[in-house]
Amino acid sequence: MQEKADKSSKRHPTSSEQNAGLGTPAGEDSAAENETDALSDDELAVFRKIMGEIEGQEDGDDKPADNADLNAEEQERLQSILESTEDVKEGANTAGDADDDDDDLDADQQKAFESIMAQIEGGAEEEPPAEPVKAESDPAEEADDETDFAAELEKVAKLADSGASEDAADAGDADDDDDDLNEDQQKAFESILAQIESGDDGDGSGEANIDKAKTDLSAEAEEQAPIAKDVLSADAEAEPSSNDAHQAVNAKLTDETKKTGITTPSKREPKAAPAKKDDVPQPDKETLMADDSTVIGKSGITPKKKKWLLSVAVICAFLGVGIGGIFIWRGQRSDHHDAQPPVAQQPMATASTSTEPALPAVAPPEPERPENTEATDVARLKQVAGALDRLRGKLVAKQGEIDELRAYYQSGIDAEMKRILDTVRKSGNSTISFKAAMADAHISLGLSAIQRRNTYIRRLKTPLKALDRDSEELLYLSRKANIFAIMADKSSDIDVEGFVKHATDVMDAHRRRLSQLNIDAVDVIPISLKSLWQEIAQRLPVKPATSAPSASAPQVDNSAIWKAICAGDYSRKDHLTALSAEAARCLSAWKGKDLFLNGLNDLDPEAARALINWKGDWLGLNGLTELTPEVASYLARWKGKTLSLNGLSRLSPQVVAILSEWSGEQIELINVKHSLDWDNPRIRIFFRKNCNASKKRWRNRS
C-alpha cells in the first residue's frame, strides 16, 4: 500500500496538470494521496472544516442556498464517511496482509465505482446490496433525494451513458460484474491504464486502490463528470475499504457538495473530500452546468475520454489487424500446403517412374511463350504454302496449255497425214516417190506442216519438263511449309525465316520463268521431210482404201460374221475387225451388257451411228487408234455407262470437248499420254499416271 502510495505520489504532478483544467486542484490530490497518514489528517481537517460549514448552515435551513448550508443529516453522513475512513486507515496500518488488502480493495473500489456510476445514472435510486452501512446510509440518501440539490444530481445522472446505466442496473451484483471481466481484458485494461495512468491519476486519487477500481470501472465512469471524479477521488481517499453503499452515498453527497457548494456530512463520513472546495475555488453552479453541457455533451463523451477511447481503439485496431493478418497469412500458407497432396502419394514422387509427373498445379502462371511469334510463323508458313500452291497451279495450268497445244499439233499432224494419204489414194497410185510427193504441192505443204508441228511438239517438251519439275518443287516446298507449320507451332528454332526466303526466291524464279516461257532457245533439229514422207509411205495401203479387212486380221470373215449377227448369232462378234453400218444395226439389238469390239481398228461414222443404239453398259472399242470428231459425237450419244477407248494415244481438244458431254459414268483412256481439258466432273476418267495434272486441273475447274 505504501509503495502504491509512493507511486501515486510520483505520478501525481502529471495528473495534477491534467486535472487542473477540470477543477481538481493539485493540493487536493496531494491531500488525497496520503490517504493513510497525512492526507487523512488533511482530509479530516477538510472534512471538519466542511462539517463546520455544514453545521453552520444546518442552523439555517435544509435548503442549499449557500455552499455552507448543510442539514444535520448531511453532516452526519459526512461524519460517518470520515469515521469509516479512519477505520479503514487504522485497519490498513495494522493489517499485516497488505497484499490481500490490495486485492480486497480493488474489488471494493470497483464495486464502489460501479455503485457510484449506478447512482449517478439512476439518480441514486438503486442501492447496492445490503451492507452494514447501507442501513445507515439509506435514510440519509432518501433524505437527500428530497433535498433541493437532488435535481442537480439527476441532471448529472442523465448525462451518463446508456452502457453505464446497465452497469448501474447491475450495481447490486457487483461481484458478478467483476467476474464478467475476464483476466485478459482486465490485464489489457490494466496495462493500458498503467501506461496512461500518469496522465489520468488526477481523475482518481493517487491511490493504487483507486487505480484498481478505475480499472474495473468503465471509462464513462471516469469521464462522466469532473464533479463526479472529484467525488470519487475524495471518496476513495476517504474510505478505501468502505463498502459500495458508502461510496454511493459519498458520491451522491459529494455531487451535491460540488454542485451546490454544500458539503453534507453524514454520520460516518469523514470531512476530507468536500474540503477541497476551500483550497481551490469551486465553480459555481452555472459554471458547472455549462461545463456539463459543453464537456460531457449529449453522449457523455468528453474530449479527454475521446482521446482515451481513440487510443484504445487504435491500439485494438492495430492488434486486430496484426493478429488477423498473421492468421490469414498462416491460413493461406496452410491452404497452400493442404492444396498440395502428399508427395508420397504423387506419381512423380519416384524419380524412377516413367509416367508423367502429376505435379500439382501451383498458382504461378506459365510464362508467356512467344505465341504471337509462333502464330505469325505458322501464319507465314501457311501463307507461303498457299502462295506456293497458287503458283504451282499456274504452272500446272501452263503445263496443260502446253499439253493441249502439243495435242493440237499432233492432231494437226495426224489430220495432215490423213489428207496426204487420201490424196495418194485418190491418185490411184500404190506408191509415190519422195520426189513425186514433193512435186505435189498439197503433199509437200502437208509434209512441211507436219515437220513444223512436229518440231513444235518437241520443242514444247522442254518447257513442259521444266514446268513439271518446277511444279514438283513447289509441291515439295508447299508440303515442307506445312510440315514446318506443324513443327513451328510447338518448336522454337525452326528456320522459318530462311525457309520463307528460300521459298520466296524459288517462287520468284518460277514466276520469272513462267512469264518468260518460250521455245526460241530450244534447239531442236526438225525431222526431215524425207523421213516424214517415208513414215507416211509406210502407211500407204497397197490397195486403195476400202472396207477390206486389215492385214492383221486377214482370216476374219467380217461379212460372214455380219450375216451371222444379223441372223441373231452374236457368238463371233468379238472377232470383228470391221463393222458395216448394217452389221452395227444388227449388233445393236444384242441384249448383253458388255460389248467388246476390240478388234475394230476403224469405225466409220455410219457404223458408229448405228452402234450407239445398243442398250448395254460397257462398250469396248480399244482397237481404235484414232477417233474423229464425227465418230466421237455419235459415241457421246450412247446411253451406256462405261466406254473403253484405250487404243487412243491422243485426243484432239475437239474430241475431248465432245466426249466430255457424254452422259455415261466412266471412260477409259489408258493410253492417252497428254492432259485433257475435261469439263464433265460426273465422268470418271482412267488416265495414265502422267496425266494426273490434267486430271487435277479438271477437278479444279469443277
Q: Which residues bind other proteins (CB under 8 A)?
A: 192, 195-196, 199, 307-308, 310-311, 314-315, 318-319, 321-322, 325-326, 329-330, 333, 336-337, 340, 342-344, 346-354, 356-357, 359-364, 366-367, 369-370, 374, 468-469, 471-473, 475-476, 479-480, 482-483, 486-487, 489-495, 688-690
Helical residues (DSSP H) of 340-440, grouped into ranges: 371-427, 434-439
Q: CA distances (Å), 524 to each of 41, 408, 451, 464, 468, in order? A: 149, 19, 11, 15, 20
Q: What is the Cα–Cα distance from 666 to 687, expressed in whole angstroms?
A: 11
Task: Answer for the pair 117, 218: CB distance below 8 angstroms, yes or no.
Answer: yes
Instruction: Tell me the closest approach of the beta carbon of residue 3 to other proteins, in angstroms.
Output: 24
Radius of gyration of the chain (CA): 66
Rank residues 472 and 665 by Cβ distance to other proteins and give the closer one. Answer: 472
Give the side-chain half-sphere CA count within 13 A for 578: 18
- Other CB atoms within a 10 A radius of the CB of residue 2 amount to 12
Instruction: Tell me the closest approach of the beta carbon of residue 681 to other proteins, in angstroms.
Output: 23
Beta-carbon contacts of 24 under 8 Å, excluding residues fewer than 6 positions away, are 16, 202, 203, 226, 229, 230, 233, 276, 280
Rank residues 183 and 356 by Cβ distance to other proteins and give the closer one. Answer: 356
Cell of 527: 525431222
Beta-carbon contacts of 3 under 8 Å, excluding residues fewer than 6 positions away, are 208
Q: Which of 207, 208, 202 is nearest to 230 (CA)?
A: 202
Rank residues 307 and 593 by Cβ distance to other proteins and give the closer one. Answer: 307
Q: CA distances (Å), 368 to each of 357, 372, 373, 492, 523, in order? A: 22, 10, 11, 13, 61
Instruction: Tell me the closest approach of the beta carbon of residue 439 to other proteins, in angstroms.
Output: 45
Rank residues 176 and 371 by Cβ distance to other proteins and give the closer one. Answer: 371
Task: Answer for the pair 362, 341: CB distance below 8 angstroms, yes or no.
Answer: no
Rank residues 96 and 498 by Cβ distance to other proteins and give the closer one. Answer: 498
Rank residues 276 and 380 by Cβ distance to other proteins and give the closer one. Answer: 380
**Sheet with 618-620, edge to edge strand ranges:** 594-596, 618-620, 642-644, 666-668, 684-686
Residue 595, H or E segment = strand 594-596
Rank residues 676 and 693 by Cβ distance to other proteins and give the closer one. Answer: 693
Task: Answer for the pair 86, 270: CB distance below 8 angstroms, yes or no.
Answer: yes
Instruction: Tell me the closest approach of the beta carbon of residue 567 to other proteins, in angstroms.
Output: 45
Instruction: Tell me the closest approach of the beta carbon of residue 466 to other proteins, in angstroms.
Output: 10
Task: Annotate 480-490 with b (16+ C-beta within 10 A) or e (fewer).
Answer: bbbebbebbee
Q: What is the Cα–Cα distance from 165 to 161, expressed in whole angstroms?
A: 6
Identity at 303, one-letter amino acid code: P
Cell of 199: 496522465
Task: Answer for the pair 304, 223: CB distance below 8 angstroms, yes or no.
Answer: yes
Rank residues 96 and 367 by Cβ distance to other proteins and give the closer one. Answer: 367
Rank residues 468 and 630 by Cβ distance to other proteins and give the closer one. Answer: 468
Rank residues 352 and 538 by Cβ distance to other proteins and give the closer one. Answer: 352
Task: Answer for the pair 670, 363: CB distance below 8 angstroms, yes or no.
Answer: no
Helix axes 441-488, 371-427, angle to 10 degrees: 160
Instruction: Tell me the closest approach of the beta carbon of residue 224 to other proteins, in angstroms.
Output: 19
Q: What is the Cα–Cα distance from 304 to 315, expressed in whole angstroms?
A: 17
Task: Answer for the pair 264, 257: CB distance below 8 angstroms, yes or no.
Answer: yes
Instruction: Tell me the closest approach of the beta carbon of residue 147 to other proteins, in angstroms.
Output: 39
Rank residues 108 and 197 by Cβ distance to other proteins and give the closer one. Answer: 197
Instruction: Tell me the closest approach of the beta carbon of residue 506 to other proteins, in angstroms.
Output: 12
Rank residues 490 and 591 by Cβ distance to other proteins and give the closer one. Answer: 490
Identity at 379, one-letter amino acid code: A
Rank residues 322 and 544 by Cβ distance to other proteins and give the closer one. Answer: 322
Instruction: Tell me the closest approach of the beta carbon of residue 514 to other proteins, in angstroms.
Output: 16
Q: Which of 231, 29, 199, 43 is nearest to 124 (CA)?
A: 231
Instruction: Tell me the closest approach of the beta carbon of residue 369 to other proteins, in angstroms.
Output: 6
Instruction: Tell me the closest approach of the beta carbon of residue 186 to other proteins, in angstroms.
Output: 18
Instruction: Tell me the closest approach of the beta carbon of residue 74 to other proteins, in angstroms.
Output: 38
Instruction: Tell me the closest approach of the beta carbon of residue 374 to other proteins, in angstroms.
Output: 8
Matching residue, cell 452395227: 584
